[in-house]
Amino acid sequence: MPRIPKGRRVGQAAVNALRTLFEEHDHIVQEISGQNDFGEDLYVTFTHDGRVTSDTIKVQVKGGDSWRRGNGYAVPVGRHVDTWANGNIPVYCVVYDPDAKRLHWANGTQQLRQSGSLHPPRFIGVSPNAVLDGSTMASFVAQARRYVGRYRGRQAVLTHLGEMSGVEFDPGDHVLHFVNGDDEDLIFWKRPGDTVATLLLSTQGWEPVLVSLESLLRSQRVVSEDERDSASAADGLWAAEDLELSQSEVMWAISCFISTEQADEGPEDDLAECEGCPSCTGEEHADIAADVLHEYVLARVLDRIEAEPDLMQRSILAMREEGELDPDIVAELGPLESDPSIVSQVNKLSRATVTTMDDIEPKALRLAILYLIHRIYVGGPSLSPDQQIRILWRIPEL
């Protein structure tokens, strides 16, 4: 008599565990026949206050310890890359760890779209911090429904433009679209209150370029080429001639600046808040160059690890005991934790292995920061470095 493979039994146990969990919370689950390997096992339609919503996801479920990678898990994409990335319904990947008896999740569609179509990942990374159980079900459903909602109304437009240009826009950003007579696309992107905008041009391979109203108006004034080049070099902003914009494209971009500046106008006493900066007095705040910030943070991380060699492992455990994490952090952790080379660099992080930014991959540094640090506050430029950059550690300093 033929034997039933153990993997099949574990896989079905994973599907059953996930189905039971969703149905315990009154969500509607439809299992897809195992005879049809389309890369999905379940359709899940969410409910809210006892009513069926129009929000549905597909789920690929894996069970067993063979899916462990690095500090996390990995679900192979295989031939499903196009259907998972470009389908009308997003695909989530769930791994059941039989030893811990826990379900862990990742948004497979999101990871594939963020990586781009030229170099799609072979695996969907699943973070062990992304636990799916009764205590996290509400936050998972809220996150999943928000993601499904990206394809409705104005957000659907932003999603389309973002996927076309390889950029993820914030719902509050000013994003305007123009198609010229040659069917070439231009996207104007500016954050509220900024005086500098980003232009994304299909003719430039969607490489972002920074412009201001002043830099665009250089083409409208009679200036020499040397003067224009000198101004561009000084402020790092592009002129219309540099981008080979037509007159109609220049006028469109100028009108974008004018309309978004009008939209940004509000009460004079409407001050921006710093989102909980320690000891905030409402005084100046500023951005800081990314390389300066990263150099300072890396130095502080190495100082703490030198003083507390077990800090990294304690921080990892503390993160996993926190319970619910921000969905954006969970999405970022998945690919990082499932990559053994990145995890290896993080586990070996010390002054003996790293002395400068060149000694560590950016992804490894990012994972280390996610493990060790809750938040980084940036104060005004008049402050000393230790006061300007404030680190809130996951485990407080001794």
Please state the domain extents for the chain.
Answer: 6-149, 154-264, 290-393
Question: What sign has the CA pseudo-torsion 305, 309, 315, 316?
Answer: positive
Please tell me the predicted confidence (pLDDT) of residue 181.
Answer: 84
Please give the single-letter amino acid code of residue 283.
E
CB 211 within 8 A of CB 189: no
pLDDT of residue 42: 92
CA–CA distance, 178 with 192 (Å, rounded to integer) = 20
How distant, in Å, are the alpha carbons of 161, 294, 312, 364 from that of 335? Answer: 24, 21, 19, 11
Lowest mean pLDDT among 81-85, 123-127, 313-317, 324-328: 324-328
6-149 topology per CATH: Trna Endonuclease; Chain: A, domain 1 (3.40.1350)
pTM over 0.85: no
> Could you tell me what percent of the chain has a pLDDT over 90?
42
pLDDT score of 335 more than 80:
yes
Distance CA 234, CA 81 (A): 44
Per-residue pLDDT tens over the stretch 18-61: 999 999 999 999 988 654 556 688 999 999 998 999 899 999 99
Model confidence pLDDT, tens digit, residues 277-329: 544 544 444 556 667 788 889 999 999 999 999 999 999 999 888 767 787 78
Q: Which tens digits make up the pLDDT trace of 204-239?
A: 889 999 999 999 887 554 444 555 455 444 467 999
